[in-house]
Copies of this chain bind each other. A is one copy, B any other.
């Protein structure tokens, strides 16, 4: 559905389609909204994209997004350097961080193993994690990848490799979510909660 008469508009629609989950209809609606109602927002978004694309890089220790060589969390002298929590994405890291229940450091995979999509150990930088975890300071690696098929497979591969290197490796507990009624919890979760009872 090319809109008529404006090359810059068509180019904008094409560019917006590179965003995940945005098709041609959404892209048209976004472009129309920005041009008709929020040109300031369009300029602001252009600047933010430019800045992020040039300034954001990966922390040399934990691999998360940062603008510095080493991110603020890794630089924090208060954190317990003997514990390393492995998560899939910065959003997962933020979720763990919000609990305020973990004072160690992180390693952010920026992905997960997904053989069906051709994503293997090299694509998510597992060797970097192995170097990081075997620095002699880290005592325990806590695997906090998601509890999906890919996340579990990723956790399994990492656990095997790190145990072979003599590290203590733990996994987030599976169990019944806080606030839920057993009647409505799926059977797999209850089974895991039974096995992991304490």
Contacts and interface: CB of A to CB of B under 8 A. Distances in A.
Interface of A: 1-9, 11-12, 14-16, 18-21, 26, 28-36, 38-39, 41-53, 55-56, 59, 64-68, 71-73, 89-91, 93-95, 97, 110-111
A36 B110 contact: yes
A53 B46 contact: yes
The listed residue with most B CB atoms (<10 A of its CB), out of A6, A21, A41, A94, is A6
A104 to B, nearest CB: 14
Please indicate which of the listed interface residues A19, A35, A49, A59 has the most CB atoms of chain B within 10 Å of its own CB. A49
Count of this chain's copies in the oligomeric assembly: 2
Nearest to A91: B28
20 contacts: A3-B65, A3-B90, A4-B64, A4-B90, A5-B65, A6-B71, A7-B67, A9-B65, A9-B90, A11-B51, A12-B48, A12-B52, A15-B49, A18-B38, A19-B33, A20-B29, A32-B89, A32-B91, A42-B49, A43-B53
Given A6-B67, A28-B91, A91-B28, A42 B52 contact: yes
Contacts of A4: 64, 71-73, 90, 93-94, 97
A160 B158 CA distance: 72
B49 A34 contact: yes
A50 B2 CA distance: 19
Contacts of A44: 15, 18
A84 to B, nearest CB: 16
A66 B10 CA distance: 11
Nearest to A19: B30
A5 B48 contact: no
Q: From A18, A20, A31, name the one whose CB has the most chain B CB atoms within 10 angstroms.
A: A18
